Structure 1
Amino acid sequence: MGERAAGPRGGGGGVEDDGGLHARSAAFSGHTLMPARFSLDGDNTSPPVQWDEVPPGTREVALVCEDPDAPGGTFTHWVVTGIPADVNSIAEGSLPPGAVEGRNGFGERGWGGPRPPVGDEPHRYFFRVYAVDRPLDLGPEPTAEDVHAAVRGHVLAKGTLVGLFGR
């Protein structure tokens, strides 16, 4: 996708105020390194992610985490749909009631932690949170592509947090 051409790495606080939701994490700041426990070689634990209260009319919140710096193109690390509108965070290593984890780029359900090639410049991990005006109803194993298609034209607010990881 176009993120690599969008500007230099680092700077900007890692929060892309691209749509009214301020996404953040208690475990790392934007455009800083994520702790190793979240990596595939670490504990492979999903990081905590928080966001602002969603606007009125929100029926569902969805989250997608992708690495646009992966050698083969954008790689999906996490897909979460069905997050109730009254929830504004995902705790470390858990899911809110009613939420559904989709397939990551490793072909598994749930979080698939970072594992960029050794020696690469740290990769960027875009955690995108979407507040949408309708239930997405994507079934038990949604993909990032499913979410991107389903939210099109239905986003009331969105926010992005960027974490970094290198080996």
Structure 2
Amino acid sequence: MSLERPVAPDPYSLLPAVASFTVSSDDVSDGDQLAPDFVAEAAGGANTSPHLAWSGAPDGTRSYVVTCFDPDAPTPSGFWHWAVVDLPATTTSLPRGAGAPDGSGLPYPAFSVRQDSGSTGYFGAAPPQGDMPHRYYFVVHAVDVESLGVDRDASPAVVSFNLAFHTLARGMVVPVFSH
């Protein structure tokens, strides 16, 4: 069953332009299908966050925010799968599984906010069965403040709103998933 809707634009093309830097992964690549490890349990996966690494952030970077967003979800607002805030500026990677619900895989003082499934931590891909391939924007945002000024109760939309005023640069990797 396809939901027959147009492909959403790159959500970051709708924001003011910022510099970019390199984001890479041992686990995911642009345009490649996500492996079952990174898919939600309800869709037959292990619900594990992928490894992410980055380099080349600009001078003045004081922290990072990592997000995962699906603009192809059948909602007007897409679907947030992960949002980690206040990663120290010395952080240049997150290991596979860093998105554990208890936050144990994150360096202090970083934390995850509740994503759109209602839980904390990474929530793997889970598009409707038979739907078009969904894009998963794993984005690392270089931020000009040590703390984004949100708490664990903030929504990813509030995190994104605050990022609009503090993002120096961003890099991303965008795999896909369908089943």
Q: CA deviation at 1:140?
A: 2.1
Tell me the distance in 2 between the aligned counterparts of 1:156 and 1:46: 25
What's 1:20 paired with?
Answer: 20
User: In the TM superposition, what is the alpha-carbon distance from 1:137 to its structure 2 partner?
Assistant: 2.2
Instruction: Choose from 128, 131, 141 the match for 1:120.
Output: 131
Structure 1 CA distance for aligned equivalents of residues 55 and 87 of structure 2 = 14
- Counterpart code for 1:165: F
What residue in structure 2 maps to residue 37 of structure 1? 37
After superposition, residues 138-149 of structure 1 pair within 5 angstroms as: 138-149=150-161
**Partner residue in 2 for 1:97:** 107
Aligned to 2:69: 66
Contact between 1:79 and 1:142, CA under 8 Å: does it hold in 2? no
Of the candidates 140, 144, 152, which is equivalent to residue 133 of structure 1?
A: 144
Return the TM-score normalized by structure 1.
Answer: 0.86
Q: What 5-or-longer segments of structure 2 have no aligned partner?
A: 1-6, 11-17, 99-104
Q: Does 2:89 correspond to 1:77?
A: no
Equivalent residue letter for 1:96: L
* Deviation at residue 22 of structure 1 after TM alignment: 1.3
Distance (whole Å) between structure 1 residues aligned to residue 163 and residue 9 of structure 2: 23
Q: State how far apart, in whole Å, the 1-side matches of 2:53 and 2:177 are.
A: 19
**Structure 1 regions of 5+ residues with no counterpart?**
7-17
Bigger mean CA offset, 64-73 vs 18-27: 18-27
Q: Which amino acid aligns with 1:103?
A: R
SS at match of 1:106: coil
Moved over 4 A (4+): none
- Partners of 1:160 and 1:66 lie apart in 2 by 11
How far, CA to CA, are the matches of 1:4 and 1:161 in structure 2?
Answer: 17
Does the CA contact (< 8 Å) of 2:61 and 2:142 recur in 1?
yes
Is the 1:46–1:93 contact (alpha carbons within 8 Å) kept by the matching residues of 2? Answer: yes
Aligned partners of 2:9 and 2:144: how far apart in 1?
Answer: 30
Cα deviation, 1:90-115, whole Å, max 9, x if unaligned, reads 10002331210111111000101111
Q: What residue in structure 2 maps to residue 51 of structure 1? A: 54
Q: What's 2:177 paired with?
A: 165
Identity %: 35
Cα distance in 2 between the residues matched to 1:22 and 1:127:
12
CA distance in 1, matches of 2:117, 2:106: 23
Q: 2:122 & 2:153 partners in 1: Cα distance?
A: 13
Which residue of the partner structure matches residue 109 of structure 1? 120
Distance 1:129 1:138 in 2: 17
**TM-score, with structure 2 as normaliser:** 0.80
